[in-house]
Each structure stands twice: as C-alpha cells, then as structure tokens.
Structure 1
Amino acid sequence: MIFAPQSDTLRAILMMILSMAAFAATDMFVKLASLTLPPSQVMFSMGIGGTILFGLLTKASGTPVLSRRILHPAILSRGVAEIIAACGFLMALTILPFSTASSILQVTPLLVTLGAALFLRETVSWRRWSAIFIGMSGVLIILNPFAETTEAHPALFSTGSLLAIIGVFGLAGRDLSTRFIPKDVPNLQASTWGFFTVAIAGVILSLFSTQWQMPNLLTWGYICGLVAFSGIGYFAITSAMRIGDISAVAPFRYSRIIFAFTLSVIVFDEVLTLQTLFGAAVIVAAGLYVWLRERRLARAIPPETVAA
C-alpha cells in the first residue's frame, strides 16, 4: 500500500476547503437562478459556461482540448458520475431548503472513504473511521430524521431528500474516478470535460422540464456567478483528489456546511436552530481532528518517506 506524501495531503486539504467554499457559493447561485429559470436550463448554462472557460484556459496552457486521453475509462466513468451528481443534487437544491440540502450533502465523505478502502486499498485507521462517523452523527443531528415533518424540515425520504442522496452517490463516484485519471491528463483538461458532462445533464433534464426562457439581467448575473465559482471549485477539488490521501482529505468536505449555513442565513433568511448549530459543531470538530493529526504526521515523517 502506497500513501501520498504528507505535504501533498496537507495541500490537498487546503484545496478541498477552497473548493467547498466555492461550491457553496455555486449552490447559492443555482438556487437563486432557479427562481426564474427551469433547473435544466440553469444546469446547462453552468455546464456550457464552465466548458468554455476551462476550454480557453486549457488552450492557453498549450494543452489540446480534444485528445484521445479523454476516452480513458476513468474520465468516461467520471463523466457518468458527474451527470448523476448534477441531476440529483442540483435538482434537490431547487426543492429543499438551502441548509437542508447542504446537510444531506455531508454524507459524501463517508462514501468516498468507503470507496477508497474498497477500490483504492487505502489504509484507513480507526482514528479516521472514528472522525468520519462522528462527523456523520453531526449530520444526523442536523437532519433529525425522527422529528415532525415541516416545510423547513422535510421528511428524510422526501423527493428532495432522495434526489440529494442520489446526487451524493454521484459526487462520491466522481471523486473516486478522479483518482484513476492518468497523471499525464492535466487538471484543466479534466475540468473542461467535467463541465461538458454537466451540460449534457442539463440537456437530459430539459426533456422532462418546462420550456427554457431568456434570463433577465439579474439572472444573467446569477449565471455568471455560478460559472465563476463552480470553475474555482471544480479545479480545486480535482487537484485535491489527485494529490492527497483520499481518506484524509474527504472529511474536509464537511467544511462546506459552514459556508452553506452562513449563506442560508444571509441570503435566504433561514433560521438555524440550536440543534443545527450543534450538529455543525460536531462536524467541524471531526474535520479539525483529522487536520491536526495530518499536521503531526507531516512533522514526524520526512516528505520523501513512503510507507508501504
């Protein structure tokens, strides 16, 4: 078993936190744009905008946008997972309260860690497993599946919640597939085709949605915002999943809930209960534990040391 160098894992953790902040902002713009546009149109706009943005950056870097490398099984499977994630979670965002959808999203680190143990044969210590499950307990505290169903707190197995869960499986599959992308495929090229699959997801959903329409000026602003922030998030998470130890990096997906809760209060006027805040605190504590442990390992193990 080969571990990623500790310095790489710490850089990957920072990239993961950056991507979570950017994706929380992207989710906000998706929900705002969906107030006036069909979700499929919002998804297609994000996919096309990101494809153009990263396609230009890829070309500027001297890397061809089209090459046979994009037909690698890892890139193709990542595209399928991206479509599932987009169709599931972005649709859930239009149905559920912003804070609730963001809470369900936090089950992704557990699925990624399970996948890393099963498919990548990463060694996951009992300390990391404990941190993951403690973080998961924080998510359950927030969702409180035994509470009475209300508009602000929908049932655990409502349509919106199930869509979010489907999206989470897609996100986990995307992250695991990213790990198998050949090293000679640049992040910019991988991100370009990742966004292209989001556009495909928008086209698929358009077959079941209302007619598309011309956005007003404010909605155009939302679309530009979601393209910009999703671009930052996509590049950062692609980098994080390719250089770090997945089971160590994955828990820092939990940081997304902090950014999401902040936006839910400021932008959507949602009220965060003591229960929600306590659950978030549990999630953050679990993530910080892994962060501190990685820092200790980084000081104790020389960067060139590789454990077998």
Structure 2
Amino acid sequence: MAPNADVSEGLRPGPTKAPIAGIALIVLACLGFSILDATAKYLSATLPTLQIVWVRFVSHLIIAVILFRVWKTPTLLHTKRPWLQIVRAFCLLGTTVFNFLAVRYLQLAETMAIMFAAPFVITALAGPFLGEWAGPRRWAAIVVGFVGVLVVTQPGSGGMHWAAIYSIAAMLFYSTYALLTRQLTATDSSAGMLIISGAVAAVAMAPAGISNWVTPPDVWTWVLLCATGAFGGGGHFLFIMAHRLAPAPMLAPFIYTQIVWMVALGYLVFADVPTVMTLFGAAIVVSSGLYILYRERVKGL
C-alpha cells in the first residue's frame, strides 16, 4: 500500500476513512481476544503457559500464510520499515507473555483493571506520536469507560501483589503495539503485518515452547490449542483493519467492550454468574462507547 504524501517519512498514519466501520472492527477484535483468553484459561489447567503462547503464534502464522497464499503474492511481506515491524511484533509477544504470567498470580479483576489503563496511554501518546489529538469528549468517554471497568472488576483493597508488574508491563506493551499498528498502516499491508508479527513471535518463543512441551491429552485439547491462533490472529487482523480506518484515540475507548465479552464468556463457559455490579459496570462501559458512536454519526468529535 503506497503511503500518503504527508506520511512519506512514516511519521503519521493513513487518513481516517470510515470511522464507524473501524469502531465495529475493534469491537469484533475484542471479541476475538476475549475468546482467546477464555480458551487459554481453559487450556492452562492441563498445559504449560509458554507452550500455549508458542502454539498460539505458530498456528496464527500457519493460518495467515495459507489464508493469504503468500507463496503467490510474496509482495504482501514487503515493508519499508522492517525494524518497526519487528518491534511491533515483540510488543505483541510481550503483551501475551506478561498477561499470561500475571494471571498465574493475580485475580482476574486486578489484571483487568491494570490492562484497561491502556486507553489512557494510547490516547495520551497518539497526539505527539501520530498527530491524532483527542478532544475533551473523547477523554471524558475514556474516563467514564474506565470507571465502568472498575465497577466490574472491583480490584481488591489490600496491598498490591508484586506480580502486578507483569500486568503493567503487558499494558505498556499493548499500548505501544496499538500505536505502532496505526503508524504502520500508512505504508504496510494488513496481511503482511499479521504474518510478520506471527513469524517473529513464533521464532522467538520456539525454545521456550519446545522445552516446556506437554502432549495434549485428547483431540479436543488439540483443537482448542490450535484454535488459539485463529482467535488471536483473527482478532489482530481486525485490530489492524480498524486502525487503518479510524484514529487511535477514537478506537481506544472501545477496548473497554472486552469486559462485556469476558463477562458473557465467563457465564457461558465457566458458569460465572455476573453480579448486579458487574452488569451495572458493563452498562457504563457500553454507554461510553455508544456516546462516541453517536457523536461520530451526528457531527464528529
């Protein structure tokens, strides 16, 4: 994809083309990430975490290569900024690894509360790094959405566990990944970004994944293990496409919709019945997103 004239030096993302479509894609991407987390949680009862991470990226890579038939169109992998692609791939890997490590020691509520600080970081940095400045209404929607997340998660009032550093690291890696994704959409193809990130992470995790290998006990476990690549890779492809269509500050509040998907999957898969406060908090999150959507449809932010 050829860069625009004002991004010839790779300093700015592509133009905003269809913001509402971008919002729809980011919501679907969050659904994919939520299914991935639920699957990983289920698998972690019988398989090592590092093995799950490695297979997630290996299957992600295989599916992407076959889907986009790279052998017929190798130009998909062309990039004008290879080092930025590699950094982005390691940011994605760092997000996955540190998030999985955090879940081992912390309550899910605590990890979620920390991870959902990402929209603040993304919105704050999108201005100086991408030239996408958020107005007061978007900042207000982000704050309201975060309040809704805190209502749902209700992080413990006791002292913070030392492993919270894992969640902080995952949040920072994710924020950087989101900003680099928006920046690279100006010059690189979505398919190439998806394949390169999967390849770099798969190679980097190979030693740990192989050394911690435990053979899945049954066919169902094999299916779920391989499906992690489809959920993760599919989610990130939608994530890339969303940032191609809309600016990062506009999309950032919709990251909070993941809490809605997680509550629903917790009930359907793990029989976790949501409390009244959980439903109330989820309603706040949805309301903040609907407000941005309304503003975008009516007269923009």
- Deviation per CA, 1:26-48: give whole Å up to 9, x if none: 11111111111111100110101
Name the CA shift for 1:18/1:68 in 2 (closer, same or farther; >3 Å): closer
Instruction: Confirm or deny: 8 A CA contact 2:126 2:248 kept in the other structure.
Output: yes
Task: Give the counterpart of 1:175 among 157, 178, 183.
Answer: 178
- Structure 2 equivalent of residue 152 of structure 1: none
- Deviation per CA, 1:82-131: give whole Å up to 9, x if none: 12112111333445555654454322222211121231121211111111
Instruction: Confirm or deny: 8 A CA contact 1:113 1:250 kept in the other structure.
Output: yes
- Structure 2 equivalent of residue 17 of structure 1: 27
**What SS does the corresponding residue of 1:69 show, helix, strand or coil?**
coil
Name the CA shift for 1:279/1:48 in 2 (closer, same or farther; >3 Å): same
Alignment partner of 1:72 is 2:82: yes
Instruction: Confirm or deny: 8 A CA contact 1:107 1:168 kept in the other structure.
Output: yes
- Structure 2 equivalent of residue 191 of structure 1: 194
**What SS does the corresponding residue of 2:184 show, helix, strand or coil?**
coil
Which consecutive residues of structure 2, in runs of 5 or more, have no partner in the other structure? 1-5, 7-11
Alignment partner of 1:106 is 2:109: no
Q: List aligned pairs for 1:123-202, cutoff 5 A.
A: 123-145=133-155, 147=157, 156-159=160-163, 161-181=164-184, 183-200=186-203, 202=205
Name the CA shift for 1:234/1:166 in 2 (closer, same or farther; >3 Å): same
Name the CA shift for 1:275/1:204 in 2 (closer, same or farther; >3 Å): farther
**What SS does the corresponding residue of 2:299 show, helix, strand or coil?**
helix
Name the CA shift for 1:176/1:222 in 2 (closer, same or farther; >3 Å): same
Name the CA shift for 1:86/1:197 in 2 (closer, same or farther; >3 Å): farther
- Measured on the aligned residues, the alpha-carbon RMSD in Å equals 2.9
Name the CA shift for 1:38/1:231 in 2 (closer, same or farther; >3 Å): same
- Deviation per CA, 1:53-93: give whole Å up to 9, x if none: 11222335843178552752321221221121121113334
Instruction: Confirm or deny: 8 A CA contact 2:22 2:242 kept in the other structure.
Output: yes
Which consecutive residues of structure 1, in runs of 5 or more, have no partner in the other structure? 149-154, 301-308
State the distance in 1 between where 2:72 and 2:259 align.
37
Which range is displaced more, 45-54 or 6-15?
A: 6-15
State the distance in 2 between where 1:190 and 1:17 align.
20
Task: Give the counterpart of 1:254 among 253, 256, 276.
Answer: 256
Instruction: Confirm or deny: 8 A CA contact 1:6 1:294 kept in the other structure.
Output: no
TM-score, with length taken from structure 1:
0.83
State the distance in 1 between where 2:207 and 2:176 align.
19
Task: Give the counterpart of 1:38 among 24, 30, 48.
Answer: 48
Task: Give the counterpart of 2:225 among 223, 245, 251.
Answer: 223
Name the CA shift for 1:215/1:251 in 2 (closer, same or farther; >3 Å): same
Instruction: Confirm or deny: 8 A CA contact 1:92 1:163 kept in the other structure.
Output: yes
1:218, distance to aligned residue in structure 2 (A):
2.2
Instruction: Confirm or deny: 8 A CA contact 1:85 1:167 kept in the other structure.
Output: yes
- Deviation per CA, 1:145-189: give whole Å up to 9, x if none: 4535xxxxxx64452x43223212111111101122154422111
- Structure 2 equivalent of residue 270 of structure 1: 272
% identical equivalent positions: 27
Task: Give the counterpart of 2:69 among 59, 65, 68.
Answer: 59
1:245, distance to aligned residue in structure 2 (A):
1.5
- Structure 1 equivalent of residue 128 of structure 2: 118
**What SS does the corresponding residue of 1:214 show, helix, strand or coil?**
coil
Amino acid at match of 1:251: P
1:269, distance to aligned residue in structure 2 (A):
2.7
TM-score, with length taken from structure 2:
0.85
Task: Give the counterpart of 1:91 among 62, 82, 101.
Answer: 101
Instruction: Confirm or deny: 8 A CA contact 2:149 2:256 kept in the other structure.
Output: no
Name the CA shift for 1:297/1:3 in 2 (closer, same or farther; >3 Å): farther
**Aligned length in residues:** 290
